[in-house]
Amino acid sequence: AQKVTQAQTEISVVEKEDVTLDCVYETRDTTYYLFWYKQPPSGELVFLIRRNSFDEQNEISGRYSWNFQKSTSSFNFTITASQVVDSAVYFCALSEATRDDKIIFGKGTRLHILP
Amino acid sequence: GAVVSQHPSWVICKSGTSVKIECRSLDFQATTMFWYRQFPKQSLMLMATSNEGSKATYEQGVEKDKFLINHASLTLSTLTVTSAHPEDSSFYICSARDAPGDTQYFGPGTRLTVL
């Protein structure tokens, strides 16, 4: 079955702290994509990253980093030195080539960065 | 990057009326478009997949006679909510891609409120 689990419903941290958002996925496909999206209060989805199943290299983009581990079916997202503007809902998602690239979203983690 | 627009960005209508939402790819050909629905404080749920020139494929539990999808051109898909009721009030988001495996680009969403 295709499934994405974000166990953390809501997280609050003080500004400048590091925070990691967890994502665990399930799939039977060998070819799939994993995503992270940010949804600020405006509602518009902001694309953060897409990673294919054959590329397990970790990625860093500024204060953002992602850790992809196929052995544990996890694709965790870390924000370093968090800022108030990082406050949003973050969705982890999965798509499978055999399912016409339909994107299945996790339930999201609401992140509050406190000043 | 590629841009997907939605119109209107928000709409309020009376119960029993029909509402049409447009999704346009502005600078690329969208062979496939996806429609999602997001209820308050919930995740995005895929409603249907539409391929240009073909009938849409609906996800389980989505009434195809209530949510009419038309994808008559490579840059435009429309979702019509027929005989809308208050429980149809939601945030509707489309995404579009060209070929299988390509990145999907999301529209900014349409907030529908049915009185």
Tens of pLDDT, residue by residue over B23-62, are 999 999 999 999 999 999 999 999 999 998 889 999 999 9
pLDDT band, very low/low/confident/very high, at A90 (cuts 50, 70, 90) = very high
pLDDT at B101: 82
Confidence of residue A99 (pLDDT cuts 50, 70, 90): confident
Question: What is the 3-class SS of chain A, one letter each residue?
Answer: CCEEECCCCEEEEECCCCEEECCEEECCCCCEEEEEEEECCCCCCEEEEEEECCCCCCEEECCEEEEEEHHHCEEEEEECCCCHHHCEEEEEEEEEHHHCCCEEECCCEEEEEEC
Residues in contact with B85: Cβ distance below 8 Å, sequence separation at least 6, in sequence order = B15, B16, B114
Percent of residues, chain B, with pLDDT higher than 70? 99
pLDDT of residue B82: 97
Mean pLDDT of chain A: 94
pLDDT tens digit sequence for A33-60: 999 999 999 899 999 999 999 998 889 9
Which of B5, B45, B49, B106 best tests the A interface by mutation, with the highest count of A CBs <10 A? B106
Kindly state whether B17 is in contact with chain A, defined as any CB-CB distance less than 8 angstroms. Answer: no
Among A44, A50, A107, select the one facing B43 at the smallest CB separation. A107
- Which pLDDT band, with edges at 50, 70 and 90, does A89 fall under? very high
Give pLDDT, residue A111: 98
Written as six digits, the tokens of B102 are: 């390509």
pLDDT of residue A51: 93
B43, B91, B95: residue with CB nearest A91 = B43
Judged by a CB distance cut-off of 8 A, whether residue A112 touches chain B is no
Cβ pair A87, A19 in contact under 8 A: no
Phi-psi region of B101 (alpha: psi -120 to 50; beta: other; left: phi over 0): left
Q: For B55-89, write each residue's pLDDT tens digit.
A: 999 999 999 999 999 998 999 999 999 999 999 99
Give the model's pLDDT for residue A97: 82
CA dist A16 and A88 (Å) reads: 16
Structure confidence at residue A79 as a pLDDT band (50, 70, 90)? very high
Between vectors from CA B111 to CA B105 and to CA B112, what angle results, nearest 5°? 130
* pLDDT for B53: 86
- Contact pairs from chain A to chain B, CB under 8 Å: 45
Q: What is the pLDDT of residue A63?
A: 97
Residue A27 has pLDDT above 80, yes or no: yes
What confidence tier does B99 reach under pLDDT thresholds 50, 70, 90?
A: confident
- DSSP calls for chain B: ---EEEE-SEEEE-TT--EEEEEEESSS--SEEEEEEE-TTS-EEEEEEEETTS--EEPTT--TTTEEEEEEETTEEEEEE-S--GGG-EEEEEEEESSTTSPPEE---EEEEE-
Indicate the residue of A43, A101, A108 with minimum beta-carbon distance to B91: A43
Show Cβ contacts of residue B22 under 8 Å, excluding neighbours closer than 6 positions.
B6, B7, B76, B77, B78
